[in-house]
Amino acid sequence: LGWAFIHHKKAIAEATKTVTRTFTKTVSLGGVGLSASGEKALASSTDKSQQNETRRFFSQPSMGDESEAAVSVSTKGTDAISGGIDDSFDAIVVSDLQGNIKQVNATALDVFRYDSKDELLNKNLSILVGGGEGKNHHAYMRRFRKDGSKASKVLGRQRMLHATRADGTEFPCLIGIRTCASGTRIVGYIRDMSGVVSNASTKMKTDMQVEEAIDRVVDDHAFDGIIASDDRGIIHRVNETAVAEFGYESKEKMIGLDIAVLIHVAKDHPERLLESHGEQHLVTLTDKNGKDFDSIIASTKIKGADGMVATYVRNIAPIRRNLSNLVSDS
């Protein structure tokens, strides 16, 4: 039950945010299917093996559905766990109200890396708790016995937490908790999320590195307008000078636009910007109000952000005016 208190390590918290976006919005233990966001995440993956693993994960019956009845029946008169539970995709651990383990299924042995059920039976749940919460688990159980299941905020909900294997290593897991046998047993349904969280963390780290690379280039203090776009020509970042030159109200109004709206030479061929290799060109650009102005542009790849290009824009109208004024004065 101590798993209900999420430890506050930044890495698991950030990874959890990323992972939970792929789940359905229900907070009950029922109905975990392949949600719209799950389909989107699946479609965006280029790794076929990961797609198959993701689909297999999300197509499994919801946590507890396939085995709750069997647990409820078996705990009424015996501590023997039924064969149906041993076939469950989820690890299942049943304890009494003191936190002593009374039943486990075969999946639990695999997930927690124990050789036999005897190694876990009558041991305290605290040996499975991760995130530094094992030492606090007895206090959590006392609070549960005192307040009762109706006052519990963790029953019937899924949470991403850390658990501990037999060898002492920790892993992220999705856990749901129910009571059965007239409230005398606590049932935990545990799903190992190691692969899913690892992939999400890797993607998050990569995304952060790309953002940092773009930040280094798109400087708000630069005299030139700077536009960062991808290989499709979609604008991801602009600096303040670009906002002013093109007459937009804010950076947000420009992000997401096709760069060809501003730079016509990129229309249908955004790769031309990548292929210019920093060469300067005199071109005609168009601001938000449809007014054309001549500028010198140069584009270059952004190091550390594959497929991203930075285009530098210098409006030459002020230069021409200054030159004209110099000629008039002379």
Of the listed ranges 211-220, 269-278, 290-299, 314-323, the one predicted with least confidence = 269-278
24-29 contacts, C-beta under 8 A, 24 or more apart? 27/156, 27/157, 27/158, 28/156, 28/157, 29/62, 29/63, 29/64, 29/65, 29/156, 29/157, 29/158, 29/176, 29/178, 29/189
pLDDT-derived band at 207 (thresholds 50, 70, 90) equals confident
Considering only residues 163 and 6, tell me which one the structure prediction assigns the higher pLDDT: 163
Write down the pTM of the prediction.
Answer: 0.46
pLDDT of residue 143: 87
Percent of the chain with pLDDT over 70: 68
Kindly report, residue by residue over 80-133, the tens digit of the pLDDT.
Answer: 445 567 778 899 999 999 999 999 999 999 999 999 999 999 999 999 998 888
pLDDT of residue 159: 84
Of the listed ranges 140-154, 235-249, 284-298, 315-329, the one predicted with least confidence = 315-329
Considering only residues 137 and 24, tell me which one the structure prediction assigns the higher pLDDT: 137
Considering only residues 290 and 269, tell me which one the structure prediction assigns the higher pLDDT: 290
Asked if residues 286 and 302 have their Cβ atoms less than 8 Å apart, the reply is no
pLDDT of residue 330: 56
The mean per-residue pLDDT over the stretch 160-187 comes to 90
pLDDT of residue 156: 77
Kindly report, residue by residue over 61-86, the tens digit of the pLDDT.
Answer: 445 444 454 454 444 434 444 556 77
pLDDT of residue 7: 39
Whether residue 259 has pLDDT greater than 60: yes
End-to-end Cα distance, the chain: 86
Residue 110: Cβ-neighbour burial (10 angstroms; 0-12, 13-18, 19+): exposed
pLDDT-derived band at 157 (thresholds 50, 70, 90) equals confident
**Which token pair is 84?**
């149906």
pLDDT of residue 150: 66
pLDDT of residue 25: 34
d(CA 230, CA 329): 46
Of the listed ranges 44-48, 149-153, 275-279, the one predicted with least confidence = 44-48
pLDDT of residue 133: 85
Asked if residues 68 and 180 have their Cβ atoms less than 8 Å apart, the reply is yes
Asked if residues 153 and 145 have their Cβ atoms less than 8 Å apart, the reply is no
The mean per-residue pLDDT over the stretch 232-258 comes to 94
Q: For residue 288, how far is the Cα from the chain centroid?
A: 35
Whether residue 179 has pLDDT greater than 50: yes
